[in-house]
Amino acid sequence: VGIISLYGNYNYGNKLQNYALLKFVENNFNEVSVFTIYNNYNLKIKDKFKRFLKKILRTKGYIRERKFKNFNNYLNLKNYKNVQYKDYFDFIIVGSDQVWNYSFNDFNSEIMFAKKFNNCIKLSYSASIGLSKISTEKEKIFIDGLKKFNKISVREDSANSELKRIIKRNDIVTLIDPTMLLTTQEWDDIIVKPKMLNDEKYILLYFLGNLSKDKMDEIKKVAEEKKYKIIDLFNKEDLFYTCGPREFLYLEKHASLICTDSFHSSVFAILYNKPFIIFDRDDNMKNMSSRLDTLLSKFKIENRKYNGKKITKENLEHDYSEAYKILENERKKSYDFLSDALSIKDSD
């Protein structure tokens, strides 16, 4: 089984979903070898020079990137340029993450629709478009790209309805992100405590988009009232900016409160039974919120959203008992989908 997904950026959720899908397939289906198929992007000369400087100066960015690269040891990597397209794989799984987000500068439809893999079963697992609507001029990409897929599953309800409309298939299903397939015990197998962390209680901040001063002031107000320190994972000045994916898991597990605009940060808050607050993004990334909307509605935890004015008592409390019942059903649904897909070849 080859898994094609986004690969190579320094994003916690991206790297952990790579690991989760590989591990779930490996653990649940006997006699299956699983590989992550990755594409080496050619760095521009200026980017190579920046990376070289980071290494020489041993900056926080270099330390962080090194931990991400070390995490690749868990992924059974195969270079896209070197794989045997016709004979090596029996199955290709595309997903998860925003593999079909054509607004990305480096979006490659040949890779993300596995166009060279024509002698094997092709399916998508919880693939994300990252956009609530597919523009008319981009519809042909999906019509051509998905015509040879045996099974299609997506991560957002909006993607489901859009693809059904465009490619005229009624068998598309919405499945949970692979990070939710693994139990907390399975995640704890790779967890690592950051060396700089002491016993202080903290609010974990993980924002991929911009955060307004008003929102930050509200977070600081809660931190002051509760006597929590603030750990900001996307702030290059913060000591914890050096954390890799395994340390990120530890910080999610032990946070007193998580404030985020990130889908995967929200997922791990649910898994580790932590109160979290989702803030709308204050920039042009707002149109990527469809997957968060699906997550909250699916697990009936819409009260996790910031109301735009202040952090409420309800935001600081949480009860995921209903969400965990739903999660068990969703895990079974995902298992059944993959079990059916990975047995297609046996029944031919």
Length of the chain: 348
Burial bucket for residue 55 (CB in 10 Å: 0-12, 13-18, 19+): middle
Encode pLDDT of 301-334 as tens digits: 999 999 989 999 999 999 999 999 999 999 999 9
Q: Is the pLDDT of residue 284 over 60?
A: no
Encode pLDDT of 28-69 as tens digits: 987 788 999 988 655 456 665 565 565 555 678 889 989 999
- Check if the beta carbon of residue 232 is closer than 8 Å to that of residue 308: no
Distance CA 205, CA 260 (A): 6
Q: Is the pLDDT of residue 346 over 50?
A: no
Burial bucket for residue 202 (CB in 10 Å: 0-12, 13-18, 19+): buried
Q: Is the pLDDT of residue 187 over 80?
A: yes
Q: Which of 265, 270, 277 is nearest to 307 (CA)?
A: 277
Most confident of 42-51, 96-105, 140-149, 286-295: 140-149
Cite the beta strand spans of 128-250 per DSSP E.
153-154, 173-174, 202-206, 229-232
Q: Place 300 in a pLDDT band, splitting at 50, 70 and 90.
A: very high
Encode pLDDT of 148-175 as tens digits: 999 999 998 889 999 999 999 999 999 9
Q: Is the pLDDT of residue 345 over 50?
A: no
Distance CA 201, CA 228 (A): 5
Q: What is the pLDDT of residue 203?
A: 98
